[in-house]
Amino acid sequence: MTFNLLLEDAKLMANLSSVISSIVAESNFKVSEDGISIKAFDATRISMVDFFMKKEAFNKYEIDDSASIGLSLETLNSILKTAKATEHLKMSLNDETKRFEVIFLGKNQKRKFALSLIDIHEEGTIPDTIHIDFDANFEVKATFLQQVIKDAEMISDYLRVKANSDGVTFSAESDTKEMSTYIEPLSEEMDTDAYNVVDESESVYSLDFLANFVKGIRSSDSVKISFSQEQPLRIVYEIEDKGHLIYFVAPRIEESEVIDDYDNYESN
């Protein structure tokens, strides 16, 4: 199996790698006829990341067969974060050395790295598609969500999210402090047309897991948030027209039961 991929914007992959590696240290990196993907639980199985970039996003996309290779995402991120704004990114699998190659192409120069493959044992089944009928769905600017998380981290380790037909409240509290941010569908921070709350919902989520995800999202973009009463929270980050980065976080209550039950959400 071999593949040869060329992406014009090396910084884009570097930003995405920063988000993914902060959640999952190592994972299978899959290359198929449709595009590249990473889907994995974090070590605690409290959260799950679903990354996909379609082949049309690449300037060159050549594969002789679908491949699934184990990589240290932390090591890969260390390499990708050296990317310069003017560099292109080439990713390939060397069939002779059995190494994953990362090459930065600049004007009249080339930087090359090679990573050994590792065996990844995935515990439990990760469904191809997770389908949950969420009661609350809305879209906000990334800067707004990043500020909410920063505010809440000064107060607590957990963020409470409550939504009804009038708006959404984000709050955090401890024995001595508390904070809250309320946003209505007509707010300039929110996409009014995307606001859909069919039933009042309230759940609590770990700020550590949420912070790891949102800190790597570009401030100029928006994210789609969905949740239900004591159900996983889903954040969808659309990568322009190139693909998506989806993140699931289990609620504080019955965390392990919810994550282990993800198979029940697989669509047929």
6-52 pLDDT tens trace = 999 999 999 999 999 999 999 999 999 999 999 999 988 899 999 99
Partners of 100 in beta bridges: 93, 115
Residues in the chain: 268
**Residue 143 covered by a domain:** yes
Same domain? For 145 and 260 the reply is yes
Q: How confident is the model at residue 268 (pLDDT cuts 50, 70, 90)?
A: very low
What residue numbers bound the domain in which 99 lies? 3-116
Same domain? For 249 and 143 the reply is yes
**Residue 157 covered by a domain:** yes
Same domain? For 90 and 165 the reply is no
Total number of domains constituting the chain:
2
Same domain? For 106 and 140 the reply is no
Tell whether the model's pLDDT for residue 258 goes beyond 50: no
What integer best gives the mean pLDDT of the chain? 90
pTM for this entry: 0.88
